[in-house]
Amino acid sequence: MSVALARRRLGDDADLHVAELGRPLPFPDGAFDDVTACLVLHYLEDWGPALAEVRRVLKPGGRLIVSVDHPFAIAFMHREAGRKMNYFATSNRTEEWTFGGQSTLMSFWNRPLHAMTDAFTEAGFRITVISEPEPAPEAHELFPDQLADMPRFLSFLFFVLEAG
């Protein structure tokens, strides 16, 4: 669905691809100017191989644009729900989600901010931007119950990383 939205926004001239993290990418070295990874890294226990593969397919100076769950927001939500979580540990959590009337277990890997930034730099990236955006004003109208008790930020971090 996100590729269809990107296609609508960017037009037919944009060269868009979907790839499976954790597997070798079917592209030559230095093939891309930019790669995006939107809310996908938290499904991986070890970010190293996926980041190394993305780094391989980026041109020197190319950008990896990443969004991740904000680690503090995850710890905050666990605390509010009466569950203990060690913010500084990389740990796994499982949640039951329902899509189209069907329930499934979703597995996520939580990691502190320093573990994220270490993984990025160890893979050969330079962090150029870290952003904690607030929700768009219209989000409060669309999701009043969900955002009523949330911290001021939308629980995500955005990184722009430059391939060295």
Q: Are 151 and 73 in contact (CB under 8 A)?
A: yes
- Higher local confidence (pLDDT), 24 or 16: 24
User: pLDDT at position 156, please?
Assistant: 87
State the pLDDT at residue 80: 64
pLDDT in tens, 112-157: 999 999 999 999 999 999 998 877 778 778 877 777 766 555 688 9
* CA 112/CA 164 separation, integer angstroms: 24
Q: pLDDT band at 78, cuts 50/70/90?
A: low
Rounded Cα–Cα distance for residues 148 and 134 (Å): 13
Highest mean pLDDT among 7-16, 32-41, 90-99, 143-152: 32-41
23: CATH: 3.40.50.150
Average pLDDT over residues 41-68: 96
Residues 54 and 64 sit within 8 Å (Cβ to Cβ): yes
Range of the domain at 72: 2-163
* Whole-number percent of the chain with pLDDT over 90: 52
As a whole number of Å, the CA-based R_g of the chain is: 17
Helices (H), the chain: 2-10, 48-57, 71-80, 113-122, 137-142, 144-148
Q: Judge contact between 55 and 125, C-beta under 8 A.
A: yes
Residue 43 reports pLDDT greater than 80: yes
Number of domains comprising the chain: 1
pTM value is: 0.81
Distance separating alpha carbons of residues 164 and 161, to the nearest angstrom:
9
